[in-house]
Structure 1
């Protein structure tokens, strides 16, 4: 599956950080993780920390799929607002999901501190109204979050302008967000897995799975067999290949990054993640080397050649929008790219078993704008499932909510 177009900044900046071998002989392990992106790396690391024998296989080079195209805005806010999620599943379930995402940022901070060199930085998150008609839902969202203990502030139009230099009707400021380099995090996690006795193989394509009552056998395109007790399918948006039931729709998102800029040119994005109420939404953040990273312009294109042709045009539109937001500053894309992402109907991920495959195949489909925080939650959720422990989010994040 061709998951990206153009020149994703993380891959250009970091290159291939570490070589991993292709699998060339039959293998036995307790847990096989199918997918060597940030989702698979977080899950494999968590399982290894709990004493499981883990192997990871990736069909490309490690981190070269959607991870390389991720913009890595780490927020507890889900693309579906808290109020809307509460109306769909009840307030208790909605709060559980939001609080889990909130806690996931702390978990990622701890991991970043252990691994070093992943450009993790804490930040605020400013969610601003794109239009005056968005004020009512935004006020409702602010009051709901504040009432239930989230650290948020309200800014009216004058406050947004005075504090952030942004012309917007109003905004919610959240005091718990972060940013990082997801590509470096993936390599650091998998390097640690190797040091702890796990195994990592890239350029290894799985083309057939057999799931029985006691084990799963995965066959590679070269005829090599992997025997495992549990399989975790963490292949990003290619995971849908293994399910007959369609659980999400693929879309394309576009992004660019500038050259390093002086602090004043970064504006409010210097230490704050910016995103808007409009859908699809514009979002901005800075990088550790003081570049401006801008994304958005999502569309329903799922044909790589068409997506490729749109990258430059979409980057110019994003530059115009972001420059206008930051007070009319001209912005010049240095690297621009597009990536595939999947969108579920409710903005929530899918973790756990599916009736098509039975109890020994776990899926990790961290879809939506919260892929990295979802993956962090999914690591503990799937570990609990493998160890036959209950997890409070197993039902809400499971396939059973599809009916």
Structure 2
């Protein structure tokens, strides 16, 4: 399935950075990571950095699936509010999830340190009340976040007007956010994995898995066999094809990017990403070259041809929503696209083994609005499991919560 429509900015800007060779012969490794997007790259980097012999295979070119369509807003905020998570799983579990996401932002900064031109930059995050009736709920959410030690400052209408030139009943401002180029980061991480002695192969399609108590044999469509102690499936939405149990649903999201905008016109938007309380929500953030990347209007379409036909109309709607919030902007759209992603009912990811496959096949399903943040947490969680160590989130982020 083609995961994207139109002209995703990262692919347009960067092109095909590097071609890795397809796997043409049998291979042995400690851990096989199936999936060459940002999730698989972060996991492979984490494992190889700690001495594991890692191999990565990807059915397309590296980073050419959902990663190329990602808008890469790095936030600690989960699509499901802290208060709602606490109602579902208890205060301690909800606080653990939110704090882990907050800690993942600087952890991603450390991962990006020393890598060339991945555009990692710390930002603020402004969470607008879309309607006046959302104000009490957002104020309560801010109180809850501050109650567990997280940064969340309330801004009223006057402060929003003065600082951001936006009309809203209120908003939560947080300082724990960042941006990144996920496509370049994926390539940089996998090239680093290779420099450490790991194997990376694109255009290599997984055909079957044979898991035993001692290891896993993975066979490719070309006939090669990879024998590994553990396998991590990090194929995005396609992971669901390897499970009989339905754990998520597919969605499409849409985005466009503008031509560069004068710094004085952008103002605080240069360093502040914006999203809103409506569902589905509009979100936007600036790039390093002063473009605005705007996305949202998620829908239940996951048929590529139908998604393709919607890209332009969705981009037009997104532009109208952008100008409703920021009417003084005069953006010129440059490229628009859509991408298919997956989401869970509670907004949380799944990392770890599933009973269907046993303890040596691990799933990395970083589904939801902050998938890259989840992927950073998942890389650490899966390394702990592979090394037979406990991780505080293995229960909450595991299949046992279903």
Q: TM-score, normalised by structure 1?
A: 0.98
Deviation per CA, 1:200-239, whole angstroms, max 9, x where unpaired?
0000001111111111111111111111110000011111
Q: Tell whether 2:47 aligns with 1:47.
A: yes
Total equivalences in the alignment: 402
In structure 1, how many angstroms separate the alpha carbons of the residues matched to 2:33 and 2:112? 21
In structure 1, how many angstroms separate the alpha carbons of the residues matched to 2:209 and 2:283? 39
Cα displacement (A) at 1:114: 2.5
Please give the root-mean-square deviation of Cα atoms over the aligned residues, in Å: 0.9
In structure 1, how many angstroms separate the alpha carbons of the residues matched to 2:114 and 2:102? 20
Conservation of the 8 A alpha-carbon contact between 1:267 and 1:326: no
Cα displacement (A) at 1:330: 3.5
Cα displacement (A) at 1:157: 1.1
Q: Tell whether 2:312 aligns with 1:325.
A: no
Helix, strand or coil for the counterpart of 1:334? strand
Structure 2 match to 1:347: 347
Conservation of the 8 A alpha-carbon contact between 2:261 and 2:331: no
Q: Tell whether 2:200 aligns with 1:195.
A: no
Structure 2 match to 1:137: 137
Deviation per CA, 1:161-216, whole angstroms, max 9, x where unpaired?
11111111000000110001000000010010000000100000011111111111
Structure 2 match to 1:285: 285
Conservation of the 8 A alpha-carbon contact between 2:101 and 2:373: yes
Conservation of the 8 A alpha-carbon contact between 2:43 and 2:375: yes
Conservation of the 8 A alpha-carbon contact between 1:29 and 1:54: yes
Structure 1 match to 2:23: 23
Structure 2 match to 1:64: 64
Gaps of 5+ in 1: none
Deviating beyond 6 angstroms after TM superposition, the runs of 4 or more aligned structure 1 residues are none
Conservation of the 8 A alpha-carbon contact between 1:37 and 1:66: yes
Q: TM-score, normalised by structure 2?
A: 0.99
Conservation of the 8 A alpha-carbon contact between 1:320 and 1:330: no
Cα displacement (A) at 1:18: 1.2
Cα displacement (A) at 1:323: 1.9
Helix, strand or coil for the counterpart of 2:254? strand
Q: Tell whether 2:298 aligns with 1:298.
A: yes
Deviation per CA, 1:115-146, whole angstroms, max 9, x where unpaired?
23100100000001000110111011011111
Deviation per CA, 1:40-65, whole angstroms, max 9, x where unpaired?
00000000111100000000000000
In structure 2, how many angstroms separate the alpha carbons of the residues matched to 1:210 and 1:65? 26
Between stretches 281-290 and 111-120, larger displacement belongs to 111-120
Cα displacement (A) at 1:264: 2.8
In structure 1, how many angstroms separate the alpha carbons of the residues matched to 2:357 and 2:266? 48
Q: Tell whether 2:11 aligns with 1:11.
A: yes
In structure 1, how many angstroms separate the alpha carbons of the residues matched to 2:383 and 2:220? 25
Structure 1 match to 2:37: 37
In structure 2, how many angstroms separate the alpha carbons of the residues matched to 1:307 and 1:105? 31
Matches within 5 A, 1:169-184: 169-184=169-184
Cα displacement (A) at 1:333: 1.8
Gaps of 5+ in 2: none
Q: Tell whether 2:115 aligns with 1:84.
A: no
In structure 1, how many angstroms separate the alpha carbons of the residues matched to 2:120 and 2:224? 38
Between stretches 86-95 and 324-333, larger displacement belongs to 324-333
Helix, strand or coil for the counterpart of 2:333? coil
Q: Tell whether 2:287 aligns with 1:315.
A: no
Between stretches 251-260 and 219-228, larger displacement belongs to 219-228
In structure 2, how many angstroms separate the alpha carbons of the residues matched to 1:327 and 1:65? 34
Conservation of the 8 A alpha-carbon contact between 1:74 and 1:373: yes
Conservation of the 8 A alpha-carbon contact between 1:125 and 1:274: yes
In structure 2, how many angstroms separate the alpha carbons of the residues matched to 1:128 and 1:160? 9
In structure 1, how many angstroms separate the alpha carbons of the residues matched to 2:118 and 2:344? 29
Helix, strand or coil for the counterpart of 1:5? strand
